[in-house]
Structures are given as C-alpha cells and as structure tokens.
C-alpha cells in the first residue's frame, strides 16, 4: 500500500531567511492561507524569538489559518520554547519545533559544548516542550556531517523524551542522494524506537541536490519532507515543494508514496510567494517556471500536437499552469502555426496558410517569439491585401538632423513595377507623397494612427490610415516591426480599398 509523505512547508521560516526576502505580517498570513488551500500538512510560520514582529505574524497565522498543523522554530532553550508555544497555541493543531546541532563542527565551533552536554540539553528541551504541547519536533542540525553513532543516540534519546517528529537536516547541502538514502534507511534500522516518531528530512540546495536528496530519503523510508515554495531559503535554498510533490505524484509507483497536496494550486502559490518575496522564478524552473510547459522546437511542437504524451510527463492543468504552450518562433512549422490560428478562430485555406507562414517566418526572424496579437495582425493584413491593386515591393527613406526627409517607394501592380521619390515633412509623409505620385490619385489623409500591436520591445507596429477620395472614404491597416513600413502598407491598403470601391 502507498504510504503518505507529510509535506512540511517552511517557506515562511527558512524561505524567509533568503537574502532580501523579508515579508510583512499581512503577506505571511496571505501566503499561509494559500498554503492551507494547497493542503500542506504543516506550516512552519516563523521563528518567534527572533523579533516581536515575527512572534505576532506566527500568532496571527495560528489564530486564522485552519487545516495544517502550525509550528514555529525554537532553539533548545526555555525562552525560545515559551515564545513558540505562546505564538502557536491558538492553532487547532500546534507543534513546537526545536533545533540543536549534532555535528562536532557545530558542537566545537558554534555551540562550544560537549556531545554529552548537547544531548542533555536536547532531551531537557523536548521534555519541557512536551509539558506544553502534545506535538514536538526535534531537528538534529547539521546531521549530514554528524557522527552516525552519536546521531542515532540523540534520535533515540529525544524520542524517549517525547519527540513526536525527528527531523534529520542536511543543513549545509553536503549530502549526495545514495549516501543520504542509506543514512535514512540505517536510521530506520538502528534507532530502536524510530517507529514511535515521524522521520523527517530537511535538505539544502548548496550542490543543487536538495530535491534529489529529499526523494532518496522518501524512497528509504522518510515520512515527512521539509521544503519551500520555489525552493527559496537560506543561501542556495531548500528542496522545492513543487518538485518534491510532483516527483512523488508522477513517479508514485517508484516511491510507493503519495502526498495530500492539491497540486492544481501549485502555480498560484508559486506566483504569490514570488510576488511577495520579490524573488523571481527562473523561466526554466521545474514545474512552475514559465517555460515548464512551453514547447519551442518544431519537432517537439509537431510531436506534442500529435499526442501530448510524446513530450509531456504531466499535464499543465495538474499544477495549475494553464494550457500547454506552443511557443511560436522561427523554428515553428506550418502545423504549429495552423493549430494556433485555429485556436484563435481562423480557418485558412492551404494557399492562405502557405502565404501567412511565409510572412510569419519573416516576422519570426526579426522577433524572438510571435504572439497571438501578431497572428491576428498578420491575418488582418493578409486578408486586407488579397484583392489589392498595388503591392508594396520596397521603400527607402533618408532623414535625420538638418536633412529634408525624402523617400523612394516601389509599388507593383500586376507584373509592373513603379518607382517614385518624394520629399516630405517626415519620412512617413515623404513615403505617402511618393505613393501618391505613383497612383496619381488626389487622396486626402483623414486619419493616421500608429500603435504597438504587442507589448514587448520587438513589437509589431500597427498602423491605421483613413483616406478620402472625392466622396469615398476607406481605411487601411498595416503591420510590420518597422513602423514606417507598417505606415506605408496601411496607406497602400487604404488606396486599394478606395480603388475597389470605385470599381
Ligand atoms: O537547515 C537546517 O538545519 C534548519 C533547521 C532549523 C531544521 O533549517
Ligand atoms: Zn534549513
């Protein structure tokens, strides 16, 4: 039978220790509410002894957030334990979390006490915490660099003293998966009373292995994983909650385990945490990155459109990421472009698609990515120019400080090319005058508007022109990454409309 892995979220404690990530009490409360919707098992809300503000934030969360166990961190001293208890006691399920080092490095250089003294301190702290609260977690800080026999002895002693959860941290991100998994299996084997507590791990990402180490521990029998949203945390961060949870979900059979996390809430939670902490999520971040479900190469796009399983091991809906994205770039083939056009409601004939794909590739060469608005503009442009009388072949402009703007425009009508030059008030005006001298039509410019069709730097310029010829008025529309070209296209398209109205 699959066993449950408890998800202990420490975004609001270890995550908030990320440099530059401090959160207000109100922000912490909002994140905690979202973590409850995500259905994590435990929220570590802060370190109450660290500041009165953090104490209040933990207390607010304990008072207002229902569902998960609410815990907070204490060193193995009475004052810290009292502060945690005061802060978490309003929760329906409070827990006190105590931390004390077990490695000789910490004993010698930080705590300046012998192993025996530290063991005694830990046991006393657990006994005291248990006199206040029925749920007490004990963390053996720097476990990955601790002497194994001493570590096992401490775990056994604190469980005998009443610890309900024992957490084994790789505080400095030193562990590697196979060795870490063996340590967890050995704890299960050699710590006499381990069945009386939940065995937990807490891995840091200094060598980029926090998720892998946490999962190796799960495979070896760990029952709780401590992690953070987006993997934020001290230095290089903690194991990322979304990666651990989705690995257990996607590879459930391998791990023989499941979590109770409501995975469609993952992306929303990630965005909230990123917005409040100011820590951006890399586009390529597993599970919640903007590119996690974006297919870019032509071969992958074709494959995923034929069958999603070809290139997707999980569905974007499962993590709340919206739809699979086909990122339209210069590598996208006709299949991908047609698919997106159909999603946007366009049905193009094979000939229309051929022409549009050619213009799409021209555009994609200039822009990194072609967006929906670009496609709308391309279709509108193509549909507006199918019955044209004049077609823009090329143009050149000369302008600058102290130079009279001038333009040379080449239009094609049927097989015939016409070229004229003109000067004007600006490069666009010069082009319009050159076009007028080709057509010979006495048109009046009634309106000229220029917009960016899309939001980014390499956006398409979209020009709209309204022209009057005698009693007829016609509008034209043109798009290009070059605003002068967009303007000339719009002008020529309006002239073609006027001419077709005349016919
Ligand atoms: O990294 C660590 O050891 C910790 C403990 C408090 C669990 O954050
Ligand atoms: Zn930590």
The CB of 141 under 6 Å from ligand 1? The reply is: yes
For helices 266-277 and 241-250, the axis angle rounded to 10 degrees is: 170
Distance 397 CA to ligand 1 centre (A): 65
Q: Give the separation between CA 353 and CA 105, rounded to whole angstroms.
A: 68
Nearest to 38 by CA among 338, 246, 332: 246
Which CATH superfamily does the domain covering 3-277 fall into? Aldolase class I (3.20.20.70)
Given pLDDT bands bounded at 50, 70 and 90, which one contains residue 436?
Answer: very high
Can you give the pTM of this predicted structure?
0.74
Helix, strand, or coil (residue 299): helix
Average pLDDT, the chain: 92
Q: Give the separation between CA 50 and CA 27, rounded to whole angstroms.
A: 18
**Residue 348: what pLDDT?**
83
The CB of 106 under 6 Å from ligand 1? The reply is: no
Nearest to 381 by CA among 351, 410, 362, 359: 359
Question: Which ligand is nearest to the Cα of residue 228, counting in written order?
Answer: 2
User: Strand pairing partners for 200?
Assistant: 167, 224
For residue 144 the two structure tokens come to 């990955």
Specify the range with the lowest mean pLDDT, choosing from 41-50, 121-130, 470-479: 470-479
Question: Which ligand is nearest to the Cα of residue 175, counting in written order?
Answer: 1
Q: How many helices (H) and strands (E) does the chain have?
A: 17, 18
pLDDT one-digit tens code per residue, 22-70: 888 999 999 999 999 999 999 999 999 999 999 999 999 999 999 999 9
Q: Please say if the pLDDT value at position 384 is more than 70.
A: no
Nearest CA, atom 1, ligand 1 = 171
- For CATH 3.20.20.70, the residue range(s) in the chain are 3-277
Nearest CA, atom 6, ligand 1 = 99
**Residue 208: what pLDDT?**
98
Question: Which ligand is nearest to the Cα of residue 169, counting in written order?
Answer: 1
Q: Measured on CA atoms in the order 385, 389, 391, 396, is the torsion positive or negative?
A: negative
pLDDT one-digit tens code per residue, 238-265: 999 999 999 999 999 999 999 999 999 9
The CB of 73 under 6 Å from ligand 1? The reply is: yes
- For CATH 3.30.160.270, the residue range(s) in the chain are 391-502
Q: Please say if the pLDDT value at position 201 is more than 70.
A: yes
Q: Please say if the pLDDT value at position 460 is more than 90.
A: no
Distance 253 CA to ligand 1 centre (A): 30
pLDDT one-digit tens code per residue, 385-404: 555 688 899 999 999 998 99
Distance 224 CA to ligand 1 centre (A): 14
Given pLDDT bands bounded at 50, 70 and 90, which one contains residue 497?
Answer: confident
Q: Please say if the pLDDT value at position 349 is more than 90.
A: no
Distance 252 CA to ligand 2 centre (A): 26
Distance 110 CA to ligand 2 centre (A): 16
**Mean per-residue pLDDT, 206-230:** 98
Distance 283 CA to ligand 1 centre (A): 28
Closest ligand 1 atom to 141 CA: 3
Q: Give the separation between CA 256 and CA 220, rounded to whole angstroms.
A: 11
pLDDT one-digit tens code per residue, 253-298: 999 999 999 999 999 999 999 988 989 999 999 999 989 998 988 8
Based on C-alpha coordinates, what's the Rg of the chain? Answer: 33
> CB 117: neighbour CB atoms within 10 A?
12
**Residue 503: what pLDDT?**
52
Mutate to test the pocket of ligand 1, among 99, 165, 235 (most ligand atoms within 8 A of CB): 99
Residues 242 and 265: beta-carbon distance below 8 Å: no
Please, which residues have CB within 8 angstroms of residue 148's CB and are 6 or more apart in sequence?
183, 186
Distance 137 CA to ligand 1 centre (A): 12
Cα of first residue to Cα of last residue in the chain, in angstroms, is 79
Which CATH superfamily does the domain covering 391-502 fall into? Alpha-isopropylmalate synthase LeuA, regulatory domain (3.30.160.270)
Q: What are phi and psi of 403, to 5 degrees?
A: -120, 135
Q: Which has more confidence, 416 or 10?
A: 10
The CB of 14 under 6 Å from ligand 1? The reply is: yes
For residue 430 the two structure tokens come to 């010069």
**Cα angle value 7/101/157 (rounded, 5°):** 80
Question: Which ligand is nearest to the Cα of residue 224, counting in written order?
Answer: 1
- CA 181 from centroid of its chain's CA atoms: 29
């Amino acid at each position: 039978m699959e066993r449950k892995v408890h998800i202990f979220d420490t975004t609001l404690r270890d995550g908030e220790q990320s440099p530059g990530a401090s959160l207000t009490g109100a922000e912490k409360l909002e994140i905690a509410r979202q973590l409850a919707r995500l259905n994590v098992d435990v929220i570590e809300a802060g370190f109450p002894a660290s500041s009165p503000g953090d104490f209040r934030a933990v207390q607010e969360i304990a008072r207002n957030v229902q569902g998960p166990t609410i815990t907070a961190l204490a060193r193995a001293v009475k004052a810290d334990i009292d502060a945690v208890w005061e802060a978490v006691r309003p929760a329906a399920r409070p827990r006190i979390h105590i931390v004390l080092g077990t490695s000789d490095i910490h004993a010698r250089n930080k705590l300046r006490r012998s192993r025996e003294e530290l063991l005694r301190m830990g046991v006393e702290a657990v006994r005291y915490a248990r006199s206040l609260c029925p749920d007490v977690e004990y963390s053996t800080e720097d476990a990955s660099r601790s002497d194994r026999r001493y570590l096992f002895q401490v775990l056994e002693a604190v469980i005998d003293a009443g610890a309900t959860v024992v957490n084994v941290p790789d505080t400095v991100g030193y562990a590697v998966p196979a060795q870490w998994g063996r340590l967890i299996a050995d704890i299960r084997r050699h710590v006499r009373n381990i069945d009386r507590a939940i065995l937990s791990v807490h891995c840091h990402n200094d060598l980029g292995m926090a998720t892998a180490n946490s999962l190796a521990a799960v495979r070896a029998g760990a029952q709780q994983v401590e992690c953070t949203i987006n993997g934020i945390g001290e230095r290089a961060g903690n194991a990322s909650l979304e990666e651990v949870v989705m690995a257990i979900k996607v590879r459930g059979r391998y791990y023989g385990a499941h979590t109770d996390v409501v995975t469609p809430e993952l992306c929303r939670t990630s965005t909230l945490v990123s917005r409040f902490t100011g820590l951006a999520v890399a586009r390529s971040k597993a599970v919640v990155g903007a590119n996690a479900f974006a297919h870019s190469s032509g071969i992958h796009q074709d494959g995923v459109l034929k069958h999603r399983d070809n290139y997707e091991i999980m569905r974007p809906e499962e993590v709340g990421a919206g739809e699979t994205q086909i990122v339209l770039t210069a590598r996208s083939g006709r299949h991908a472009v047609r698919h997106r056009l159909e999603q946007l409601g366009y049905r193009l004939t094979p000939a229309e698609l051929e022409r549009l794909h050619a213009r799409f590739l021209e555009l994609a060469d200039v822009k990194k990515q072609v967006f929906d608005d670009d496609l709308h503009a391309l279709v509108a442009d193509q549909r507006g120019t199918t019955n044209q009388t004049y077609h823009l072949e090329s143009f050149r402009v000369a302008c600058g400080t102290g130079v009279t703007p001038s333009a040379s425009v080449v239009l094609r009508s049927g097989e015939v090319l016409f070229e004229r030059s003109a000067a004007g008030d600006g490069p666009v005006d010069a082009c319009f005058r050159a076009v007028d001298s080709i057509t010979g039509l006495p048109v009046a410019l009634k309106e000229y508007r220029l917009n960016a069709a899309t939001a980014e730097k390499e956006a398409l310029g979209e020009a709209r022109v309204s022209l009057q010829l005698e009693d007829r008025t016609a509008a034209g529309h043109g798009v290009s990454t070059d605003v002068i070209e967009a303007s000339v296209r719009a002008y020529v398209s309006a002239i073609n409309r006027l001419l077709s109205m005349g016919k």
